[in-house]
Structure 1
Amino acid sequence: MRNILALWGVITILIYSGKALAHCEIPCGIYDDHLRIHLLEEHITTMEKSIKKIKELSEKNDPHSKNQLIRWIMNKEKHAKEFQYIVWQYFLTQRIKPINPEEKEKYRKYIKKVELLHKLSFFAMKVKQNVDTKYTDKLRKLLSEFEKLYFGKKESYH
Protein backbone atom coordinates (compact mmCIF):
# COMPACT_ATOMS: atom_id res chain seq x y z
CA MET A 1 0.00 0.00 0.00
CA ARG A 2 2.85 2.31 0.88
CA ASN A 3 4.45 1.75 -2.55
CA ILE A 4 1.17 2.49 -4.30
CA LEU A 5 0.83 5.78 -2.39
CA ALA A 6 4.42 6.72 -3.22
CA LEU A 7 3.85 5.90 -6.88
CA TRP A 8 0.64 7.93 -6.86
CA GLY A 9 2.56 10.87 -5.34
CA VAL A 10 5.24 10.71 -8.04
CA ILE A 11 2.62 10.50 -10.79
CA THR A 12 0.77 13.48 -9.33
CA ILE A 13 3.96 15.54 -9.21
CA LEU A 14 4.78 14.66 -12.81
CA ILE A 15 1.29 15.53 -14.01
CA TYR A 16 1.22 18.92 -12.32
CA SER A 17 4.87 19.87 -12.81
CA GLY A 18 4.06 21.27 -16.27
CA LYS A 19 1.85 23.85 -14.62
CA ALA A 20 4.86 25.30 -12.79
CA LEU A 21 6.51 26.72 -15.91
CA ALA A 22 5.76 30.34 -15.07
CA HIS A 23 8.28 32.09 -12.87
CA CYS A 24 7.02 32.10 -9.30
CA GLU A 25 6.77 34.93 -6.79
CA ILE A 26 9.54 33.58 -4.58
CA PRO A 27 12.29 36.23 -4.49
CA CYS A 28 14.93 33.96 -6.01
CA GLY A 29 16.54 36.66 -8.14
CA ILE A 30 16.45 34.48 -11.26
CA TYR A 31 14.74 36.60 -13.88
CA ASP A 32 15.23 36.98 -17.59
CA ASP A 33 13.46 40.19 -18.51
CA HIS A 34 14.80 40.09 -22.07
CA LEU A 35 13.32 36.63 -22.52
CA ARG A 36 9.91 37.90 -21.39
CA ILE A 37 10.06 40.74 -23.93
CA HIS A 38 10.97 38.22 -26.63
CA LEU A 39 8.06 35.99 -25.57
CA LEU A 40 5.70 38.96 -25.80
CA GLU A 41 7.00 39.65 -29.32
CA GLU A 42 6.39 36.02 -30.27
CA HIS A 43 2.84 36.20 -28.91
CA ILE A 44 2.19 39.32 -31.00
CA THR A 45 3.50 37.58 -34.13
CA THR A 46 1.36 34.52 -33.40
CA MET A 47 -1.75 36.64 -32.83
CA GLU A 48 -1.08 38.45 -36.10
CA LYS A 49 -0.66 35.20 -38.02
CA SER A 50 -3.85 33.88 -36.42
CA ILE A 51 -5.76 36.97 -37.57
CA LYS A 52 -4.51 36.49 -41.14
CA LYS A 53 -5.48 32.81 -41.14
CA ILE A 54 -8.91 33.62 -39.68
CA LYS A 55 -9.56 36.06 -42.50
CA GLU A 56 -8.34 33.59 -45.12
CA LEU A 57 -10.37 30.67 -43.76
CA SER A 58 -13.51 32.78 -43.26
CA GLU A 59 -13.86 32.97 -47.03
CA LYS A 60 -14.10 29.18 -47.35
CA ASN A 61 -17.16 27.10 -46.56
CA ASP A 62 -15.94 23.50 -46.40
CA PRO A 63 -15.91 21.54 -43.11
CA HIS A 64 -12.12 21.32 -42.95
CA SER A 65 -11.76 25.10 -43.30
CA LYS A 66 -14.40 25.65 -40.61
CA ASN A 67 -12.51 23.34 -38.30
CA GLN A 68 -9.24 25.15 -39.00
CA LEU A 69 -10.97 28.52 -38.53
CA ILE A 70 -12.06 27.56 -35.02
CA ARG A 71 -8.57 26.34 -34.20
CA TRP A 72 -7.03 29.66 -35.33
CA ILE A 73 -9.59 31.62 -33.31
CA MET A 74 -8.72 29.58 -30.23
CA ASN A 75 -5.03 30.09 -30.95
CA LYS A 76 -5.46 33.87 -31.13
CA GLU A 77 -7.35 33.84 -27.81
CA LYS A 78 -4.74 31.65 -26.13
CA HIS A 79 -1.81 33.84 -27.15
CA ALA A 80 -3.59 37.05 -26.19
CA LYS A 81 -4.30 35.57 -22.77
CA GLU A 82 -0.69 34.41 -22.35
CA PHE A 83 0.48 37.86 -23.42
CA GLN A 84 -1.69 39.44 -20.72
CA TYR A 85 -0.42 36.95 -18.16
CA ILE A 86 3.21 37.94 -18.76
CA VAL A 87 2.30 41.63 -18.67
CA TRP A 88 0.44 41.39 -15.38
CA GLN A 89 1.92 38.44 -13.51
CA TYR A 90 5.53 38.89 -14.48
CA PHE A 91 6.05 42.60 -15.04
CA LEU A 92 3.39 44.29 -12.95
CA THR A 93 3.27 41.86 -10.05
CA GLN A 94 6.95 40.96 -9.78
CA ARG A 95 9.17 43.40 -11.61
CA ILE A 96 7.70 46.91 -11.39
CA LYS A 97 8.11 48.07 -7.82
CA PRO A 98 6.00 50.87 -6.32
CA ILE A 99 7.90 54.16 -6.00
CA ASN A 100 7.52 56.92 -3.46
CA PRO A 101 5.79 59.90 -5.20
CA GLU A 102 8.32 62.23 -3.57
CA GLU A 103 11.02 60.75 -5.81
CA LYS A 104 9.68 62.76 -8.76
CA GLU A 105 11.70 61.37 -11.68
CA LYS A 106 11.56 57.73 -10.55
CA TYR A 107 7.84 58.10 -9.83
CA ARG A 108 7.20 59.57 -13.30
CA LYS A 109 8.92 56.56 -14.89
CA TYR A 110 6.98 54.19 -12.63
CA ILE A 111 3.66 55.73 -13.67
CA LYS A 112 4.65 55.54 -17.35
CA LYS A 113 5.60 51.85 -17.01
CA VAL A 114 2.30 51.02 -15.32
CA GLU A 115 0.43 53.00 -17.99
CA LEU A 116 2.21 51.12 -20.80
CA LEU A 117 1.53 47.75 -19.15
CA HIS A 118 -2.13 48.64 -18.84
CA LYS A 119 -2.28 49.65 -22.50
CA LEU A 120 -0.54 46.41 -23.52
CA SER A 121 -3.11 44.39 -21.63
CA PHE A 122 -5.96 46.48 -23.04
CA PHE A 123 -4.85 46.06 -26.66
CA ALA A 124 -4.32 42.32 -26.14
CA MET A 125 -7.99 42.28 -25.13
CA LYS A 126 -8.82 44.18 -28.34
CA VAL A 127 -7.01 41.46 -30.30
CA LYS A 128 -9.34 38.91 -28.68
CA GLN A 129 -12.38 40.93 -29.76
CA ASN A 130 -11.32 41.70 -33.33
CA VAL A 131 -9.64 40.43 -36.45
CA ASP A 132 -7.76 43.59 -37.34
CA THR A 133 -3.97 43.67 -37.35
CA LYS A 134 -4.04 47.34 -36.32
CA TYR A 135 -4.22 46.00 -32.75
CA THR A 136 -1.15 43.80 -33.12
CA ASP A 137 0.62 46.79 -34.71
CA LYS A 138 -0.36 48.84 -31.65
CA LEU A 139 0.96 46.09 -29.35
CA ARG A 140 4.32 46.13 -31.16
CA LYS A 141 4.60 49.90 -30.81
CA LEU A 142 3.65 49.87 -27.12
CA LEU A 143 5.98 46.96 -26.36
CA SER A 144 8.86 48.82 -27.99
CA GLU A 145 8.09 51.88 -25.84
CA PHE A 146 7.92 49.75 -22.72
CA GLU A 147 11.16 47.97 -23.56
CA LYS A 148 13.03 51.26 -24.00
CA LEU A 149 11.65 52.68 -20.77
CA TYR A 150 12.18 49.46 -18.80
CA PHE A 151 15.76 48.73 -19.90
CA GLY A 152 16.86 52.24 -20.76
CA LYS A 153 18.30 53.16 -24.13
CA LYS A 154 21.74 51.64 -23.46
CA GLU A 155 20.44 48.22 -22.35
CA SER A 156 17.67 47.82 -24.91
CA TYR A 157 17.41 44.28 -26.19
CA HIS A 158 17.20 45.24 -29.86
Structure 2
Amino acid sequence: MNLISKFFSGCVLTIALLSFSNEAKAHCEIPCGIYGDSTRIVLMYEHIATIEKSMKEIVELSAKGDVDYNQMVRWVVNKEEHATKIQDIASQYFMYQRIKVKDPSDTEAYAQYIKQLTLMHKIQVYAMKTKQGTDLKNIRLLREALHDFEHAYFGGH
Protein backbone atom coordinates (compact mmCIF):
# COMPACT_ATOMS: atom_id res chain seq x y z
CA MET A 1 0.00 0.00 0.00
CA ASN A 2 1.54 3.34 -0.97
CA LEU A 3 1.71 6.41 1.26
CA ILE A 4 -1.31 8.15 -0.33
CA SER A 5 -3.49 5.06 0.10
CA LYS A 6 -2.46 4.77 3.75
CA PHE A 7 -3.27 8.44 4.31
CA PHE A 8 -6.75 8.16 2.77
CA SER A 9 -7.46 4.90 4.62
CA GLY A 10 -6.53 6.63 7.87
CA CYS A 11 -8.81 9.58 7.04
CA VAL A 12 -11.73 7.29 6.26
CA LEU A 13 -11.21 5.38 9.52
CA THR A 14 -11.01 8.62 11.52
CA ILE A 15 -14.19 9.99 9.93
CA ALA A 16 -16.02 6.72 10.58
CA LEU A 17 -14.97 6.67 14.23
CA LEU A 18 -15.95 10.29 14.74
CA SER A 19 -19.35 9.71 13.19
CA PHE A 20 -20.01 6.77 15.50
CA SER A 21 -18.95 8.74 18.58
CA ASN A 22 -21.43 11.51 17.73
CA GLU A 23 -24.26 8.98 17.52
CA ALA A 24 -23.49 7.76 21.03
CA LYS A 25 -23.90 11.27 22.46
CA ALA A 26 -27.43 12.00 21.28
CA HIS A 27 -30.60 10.03 20.76
CA CYS A 28 -31.76 9.80 17.17
CA GLU A 29 -34.76 11.68 15.79
CA ILE A 30 -36.12 8.71 13.91
CA PRO A 31 -38.98 6.68 15.36
CA CYS A 32 -36.78 3.83 16.59
CA GLY A 33 -38.95 3.13 19.62
CA ILE A 34 -35.93 2.78 21.90
CA TYR A 35 -36.30 5.29 24.70
CA GLY A 36 -34.87 5.56 28.19
CA ASP A 37 -37.01 8.27 29.74
CA SER A 38 -36.02 7.55 33.35
CA THR A 39 -32.35 7.39 32.34
CA ARG A 40 -32.61 10.87 30.81
CA ILE A 41 -34.14 12.21 34.04
CA VAL A 42 -31.31 10.67 36.09
CA LEU A 43 -28.76 12.20 33.72
CA MET A 44 -30.37 15.62 34.11
CA TYR A 45 -30.16 15.35 37.92
CA GLU A 46 -26.50 14.38 37.57
CA HIS A 47 -25.84 17.40 35.34
CA ILE A 48 -27.53 19.65 37.93
CA ALA A 49 -25.27 18.25 40.68
CA THR A 50 -22.24 18.88 38.46
CA ILE A 51 -23.30 22.47 37.79
CA GLU A 52 -23.84 23.02 41.52
CA LYS A 53 -20.36 21.65 42.32
CA SER A 54 -18.87 23.87 39.60
CA MET A 55 -20.61 26.96 41.00
CA LYS A 56 -19.32 26.25 44.50
CA GLU A 57 -15.79 25.77 43.21
CA ILE A 58 -15.97 29.02 41.22
CA VAL A 59 -17.14 30.93 44.31
CA GLU A 60 -14.41 29.34 46.43
CA LEU A 61 -11.68 30.09 43.89
CA SER A 62 -12.95 33.66 43.48
CA ALA A 63 -12.65 34.28 47.21
CA LYS A 64 -8.94 33.49 47.23
CA GLY A 65 -6.52 36.38 47.03
CA ASP A 66 -4.37 34.66 44.43
CA VAL A 67 -6.90 33.30 41.93
CA ASP A 68 -5.90 30.32 39.81
CA TYR A 69 -7.48 31.52 36.57
CA ASN A 70 -6.76 28.32 34.69
CA GLN A 71 -8.71 26.29 37.23
CA MET A 72 -11.44 28.94 37.34
CA VAL A 73 -11.91 28.76 33.56
CA ARG A 74 -12.10 24.96 33.72
CA TRP A 75 -14.95 25.14 36.28
CA VAL A 76 -16.80 27.77 34.25
CA VAL A 77 -16.51 25.68 31.07
CA ASN A 78 -17.65 22.59 32.99
CA LYS A 79 -20.69 24.46 34.30
CA GLU A 80 -21.59 25.68 30.81
CA GLU A 81 -21.21 22.26 29.21
CA HIS A 82 -23.47 20.54 31.73
CA ALA A 83 -26.12 23.25 31.47
CA THR A 84 -26.09 22.79 27.69
CA LYS A 85 -26.46 19.02 28.14
CA ILE A 86 -29.59 19.61 30.21
CA GLN A 87 -30.97 21.90 27.51
CA ASP A 88 -30.19 19.31 24.85
CA ILE A 89 -31.98 16.51 26.72
CA ALA A 90 -34.94 18.79 27.40
CA SER A 91 -35.29 19.84 23.77
CA GLN A 92 -33.84 17.06 21.60
CA TYR A 93 -35.16 14.20 23.67
CA PHE A 94 -38.27 15.25 25.54
CA MET A 95 -39.75 18.16 23.59
CA TYR A 96 -39.01 16.87 20.10
CA GLN A 97 -39.62 13.16 20.62
CA ARG A 98 -41.38 12.21 23.84
CA ILE A 99 -43.95 14.90 24.66
CA LYS A 100 -46.63 14.27 22.08
CA VAL A 101 -48.77 17.09 20.69
CA LYS A 102 -52.33 16.84 22.02
CA ASP A 103 -55.62 17.94 20.53
CA PRO A 104 -57.03 20.94 22.47
CA SER A 105 -60.48 19.38 22.33
CA ASP A 106 -59.23 16.65 24.70
CA THR A 107 -59.05 19.07 27.62
CA GLU A 108 -57.47 16.69 30.15
CA ALA A 109 -54.74 15.46 27.79
CA TYR A 110 -54.15 18.99 26.52
CA ALA A 111 -53.80 20.36 30.07
CA GLN A 112 -51.19 17.66 30.80
CA TYR A 113 -49.38 18.53 27.56
CA ILE A 114 -49.28 22.23 28.47
CA LYS A 115 -48.04 21.39 31.97
CA GLN A 116 -45.19 19.27 30.59
CA LEU A 117 -44.23 21.93 28.02
CA THR A 118 -44.30 24.63 30.69
CA LEU A 119 -42.03 22.61 32.96
CA MET A 120 -39.64 21.86 30.08
CA HIS A 121 -39.52 25.58 29.33
CA LYS A 122 -38.66 26.29 32.98
CA ILE A 123 -35.89 23.68 32.83
CA GLN A 124 -34.48 25.34 29.71
CA VAL A 125 -34.61 28.82 31.27
CA TYR A 126 -33.13 27.80 34.63
CA ALA A 127 -30.35 25.87 32.86
CA MET A 128 -29.62 29.05 30.90
CA LYS A 129 -29.54 31.06 34.12
CA THR A 130 -26.95 28.69 35.62
CA LYS A 131 -24.71 29.67 32.72
CA GLN A 132 -25.04 33.35 33.60
CA GLY A 133 -23.65 33.22 37.12
CA THR A 134 -23.20 31.27 40.33
CA ASP A 135 -26.47 31.96 42.14
CA LEU A 136 -27.44 28.66 43.76
CA LYS A 137 -31.07 29.77 43.70
CA ASN A 138 -31.08 28.76 40.04
CA ILE A 139 -29.90 25.27 40.99
CA ARG A 140 -32.82 24.97 43.41
CA LEU A 141 -35.29 26.21 40.79
CA LEU A 142 -33.83 23.89 38.14
CA ARG A 143 -33.99 20.89 40.46
CA GLU A 144 -37.58 21.73 41.46
CA ALA A 145 -38.67 22.12 37.83
CA LEU A 146 -37.10 18.78 36.94
CA HIS A 147 -38.76 17.13 39.95
CA ASP A 148 -42.13 18.58 38.94
CA PHE A 149 -41.62 17.47 35.33
CA GLU A 150 -40.67 13.98 36.46
CA HIS A 151 -43.96 13.69 38.34
CA ALA A 152 -46.01 15.27 35.54
CA TYR A 153 -44.41 12.99 32.95
CA PHE A 154 -44.41 9.67 34.80
CA GLY A 155 -47.15 10.20 37.36
CA GLY A 156 -49.64 12.15 35.33
CA HIS A 157 -50.18 14.83 38.01
TM-score of the pair, normalised by structure 1: 0.90
- Which amino acid in 2 is paired with 1:35? T
Counterpart of 2:99, as a letter, is: I
SS in structure 2 at match of 1:131: coil
108-117 or 8-17, which moves further after superposition?
A: 8-17
Deviations 1:51-88 (A, max 9, x none): 0000000022436x221111101111111111100001
Q: Which runs of 5+ in 1 are unaligned?
A: none
Name the amino acid aligned to 2:47: H
Task: Determine if the alignment matches structure 1 residue 8 to structure 2 residue 1.
Answer: no
CA distance in 2, matches of 1:130, 1:7: 43
| Structure-2 residue corresponding to 1:68 | 71
Q: Which runs of 4+ in 1 moved over 6 A?
A: none
Partners of 2:59 and 2:10 in 1: CA distance: 49
Q: Percent identity at matched positions? A: 46
Unaligned runs of 5+ in 2: none
Q: Specify the alignment match of 1:119 in structure 2.
A: 122
User: 1:108 is matched with which residue?
Assistant: 111
* Alignment partner, residue 59 of structure 1: 63
Supply the AA of the counterpart residue of 1:130: G
Q: Give the drift of 1:153.
A: 6.4
In structure 2, the partner of 1:49 is: 53
Q: Determine if the alignment matches structure 1 residue 128 to structure 2 residue 146.
A: no
Task: Give distance in 2, aligned partners of 1:66 and 1:25.
Answer: 40
TM-score (norm 2): 0.90
The offset of 1:42, in angstroms, is 0.4
Separation (CA, whole Å) in 1 of partners of 2:61 and 2:10: 47
Whether the 8 Å CA contact 2:84–2:127 is kept in 1: the answer is: yes
